[in-house]
Amino acid sequence: MTDSRRFYVTTPIYYVNDRPHLGHVYTTMVADVVARFHRLRGDETFFLTGVDEHAAKVSEKAAEMGMTPQAWADQNAAAFREVFERLEMTNDDFVRTSAPRHKERVTQYVQALLDSGDVYEGDYEGWYDAGQEEYVPENKAAQNDFKSEVNGKLLVRKTEKNYFFKLSAYRDPLLCVYAERDESGVPFVQPEARKNEIVNRIKEMEDVPISRSGTGGWGIPVPGAADQTIYVWIDALFNYLAHVDTGADSEWGDRRPFWRAGAVHFIAKDILWFHAAIWPALLLALQKCKGYEWVNLPRQVYCHSYWVSDTGAKMSKSLGNFLDPAAIDNYVSTFGLDALRYFLATRGPLGVSDSAFSPDLFSEVYNSDLANTFGNCCSRVANMIGKYFDGHLPEPSPDSNGNAMRFAAADYLPDYTTHFETLDLGRAGEAALRPVRDVDAFIERTQPFRLAKDPENLPTVGTILFECAEALRIASLLLWPFLPDACELFWNRIGCSSYAADLRDQGVGNLADWSKWGGLQAETPIEKGNPLFPRYEEE
Ligand code: ME8
């Protein structure tokens, strides 16, 4: 398998100082939809998510709760894992930074950087944002009245003995990477507007401390300096490499080809600097170390915006206005998991603007796209096949005026694929619904229910309905990454359950082949079943 047929996608690893919320579910769901698309089209795919444990806010919250940091982290890590499982995320592994395999790798990476001189010992004094666990540059701190940009709390003046990373040495190399990637047509950071922000900051970057003292041992020790722990951000960023840096003889098998294929990192704008500057600089430094020459840079950092509440405030744990797992469950039990997935992926803040999470918009999108469009069209076609052809797919006649859909089908795939490649899931969802909209328009135009009144027209009606069913089959393939449960149910009803079996057993599909015209067999029993998406009426 060539690297271009491999795909590696990650989400941030989330802090376990509290329970998961909609923001975490969102990024993981977006990555899940994208991972499913790649599997569907036959790419060997690796999808990583997980939790970030060694933050001071985790040990502080644990102390508040009267628990050890590890016990508190265990409890919340389990909550994240459980929510992701319940939401049928298809992540291939789940990171915990307190796991021995993670600690071992991070220690090795930092040791290599100490050996090469890119990590060195020194003193650091600066303005510290305790909530964000980061030092804020002097000018930025002053601009903001020495308060946190994120939670408004006062910054603290802090001095410490530290190990530093020679970030300043990577200004030019990083700017070169950015320029090269722009030229190649796949910019390192997307969307474009976010990239420009970062490029300006890279030009001024200084060395950064990468260790902390006084963490009470909660963290990974700096090799050879037991009183210092590796700064939680360095520890966390390395997860992306550590979990696929496994050899053929390990318990996880050879995952390195996934790294070499080029990671796609989904994150939100709060953590762009770490991913767009520090992370690639660390990798450039590591790549110079013996044994790590194979470590290339990620393919892309995709930076989305925020879900905000109806009032426009960011949804966050500290603001207490997030949708928690119980609220998320409520949406799932009312509308179904597919609906949540579809709404989040297609109406979410993937671009540079925030999205307001509004219950009204949710039900509106559910009714318009899922109940009235995909669900209704499937029912309509199955009903007519039931009524006029005894529930068996009719034979199409080659040259009747009923076969117009066949010609439209040839161009569904390219647009859809392009939107997935550029991570524009709103447009990808729209492209997946296009065949459904075309079927609705085709039925309106040809009026098979009227034609069927005269038995002489049955061959034409049969062709029309065959073409409708065939176009819906193609739509269901394109919709599968968004609506896996409904599409698999639909496949069962139209005699195509082998798609789900292949995806499950082989881990990959064959979208190019499957989406070719002519996948359905005449005479196949077509099951009507219950509506895939019953219309939602507010009580
Ligand atoms: O930053 N809208 O963890 P974290 C959209 N551990 N996405 C949101 C969101 C919102 N309102 N709120 C949170 C950390 N997110 C570090 C990451 S990675 C090496 C270490 C999502 O628990 C979004 O993906 O604060 C954001 O980047 C992430 O949660 C922050 O999660």
Pocket test for ligand 1, best of 15, 32, 270 (most atoms within 8 A of CB): 270
Q: Is 398 helix (H, G, I), strand (E, B) or coil?
A: coil
Nearest-CA residue for atom 29 of ligand 1: 24
pLDDT of residue 326: 87
CA–CA separation, 328 and 326 (whole Å): 5
Closest atom of ligand 1 relative to the 55 alpha carbon: 6
Closest atom of ligand 1 relative to the 240 alpha carbon: 19
What domains are there in the chain, each with its CATH number?
Answer: 6-304 (3.40.50.620), 360-514 (1.10.730.10)
C-beta atoms surrounding 525 within 10 Å: 12
Listed in sequence order, the residues at least 6 apart from 194 whose beta carbon sits closer than 8 Å to its beta carbon are 269, 272, 276, 303, 352
CA–CA separation, 284 and 295 (whole Å): 8
Closest atom of ligand 1 relative to the 15 alpha carbon: 22
Q: Residues 76, 82: contact at Cβ < 8 Å?
A: no
CA–CA separation, 121 and 335 (whole Å): 55
Nearest-CA residue for atom 16 of ligand 1: 14
pLDDT of residue 69: 96
pLDDT of residue 22: 92
pLDDT of residue 406: 73
Pocket test for ligand 1, best of 96, 271, 353 (most atoms within 8 A of CB): 271
Question: C-alpha 385: how far from its chain's center?
Answer: 38
Q: What is the 402 CA–ligand 1 centroid distance (Å)?
A: 51
What DSSP assignment string belongs to 129-152?
Answer: ETTTTEEE-HHHHHHTTTB-TTT-
Q: What is the 158 CA–ligand 1 centroid distance (Å)?
A: 25
pLDDT of residue 203: 94
Pocket test for ligand 1, best of 11, 14, 53 (most atoms within 8 A of CB): 14
Cross-sheet strand order for the sheet of 134-136: 134-136, 119-129, 156-165, 208-209
Nearest-CA residue for atom 31 of ligand 1: 14
Residue 175 token pair: 């700017």
Question: C-alpha 34: how far from its chain's center?
Answer: 6
Q: Which candidate, 526, 514, 523, places its Cα nearest to that of 396?
A: 523
Closest atom of ligand 1 relative to the 51 alpha carbon: 6
Closest atom of ligand 1 relative to the 306 alpha carbon: 2
Closest atom of ligand 1 relative to the 315 alpha carbon: 11
Listed in sequence order, the residues at least 6 apart from 441 whose beta carbon sits closer than 8 Å to its beta carbon are none
Nearest-CA residue for atom 23 of ligand 1: 268
Listed in sequence order, the residues at least 6 apart from 331 whose beta carbon sits closer than 8 Å to its beta carbon are 339, 340, 362
CA–CA separation, 381 and 377 (whole Å): 6
CA–CA separation, 399 and 408 (whole Å): 16
Residue 259 token pair: 């790294």
Q: What angle do CA 412, 416, 419 make, to 5 degrees?
A: 155
Closest atom of ligand 1 relative to the 348 alpha carbon: 5
> Strand 44-52 relative to strand 6-15: parallel, antiparallel, unpaired?
parallel
pLDDT of residue 309: 80
C-beta atoms surrounding 227 within 10 Å: 13
- Phi/psi of residue 410, nearest 5 degrees: -60, -30
Identify the burial level of 538 via C-beta atoms within 10 angstroms of its C-beta, where 0-12 means exposed, 13-18 middle and 19 or more buried: exposed
CA R_g for the chain: 26
Nearest-CA residue for atom 8 of ligand 1: 23
Alpha carbon separation from 442 to 125, 369, 436, 439, 463 (Å, rounded):
69, 18, 10, 5, 12
Mean pLDDT by groups of 10 residues along the chain of 539 residues: 83 94 96 98 97 95 95 97 97 98 98 98 88 85 91 90 94 98 95 89 93 88 93 97 97 97 97 97 98 97 91 64 82 96 97 91 97 98 98 85 68 94 97 96 95 94 95 97 98 98 94 93 96 92
**Which residues line ligand 1 at a C-beta cut-off of 6 Å?**
12-15, 23-24, 26-27, 52, 236-237, 267-268, 270-271, 306-307, 314-316
Token pair 């969802």 is at which residue?
Answer: 429
Question: C-alpha 279: how far from its chain's center?
Answer: 19
Residue 74 token pair: 């265990």
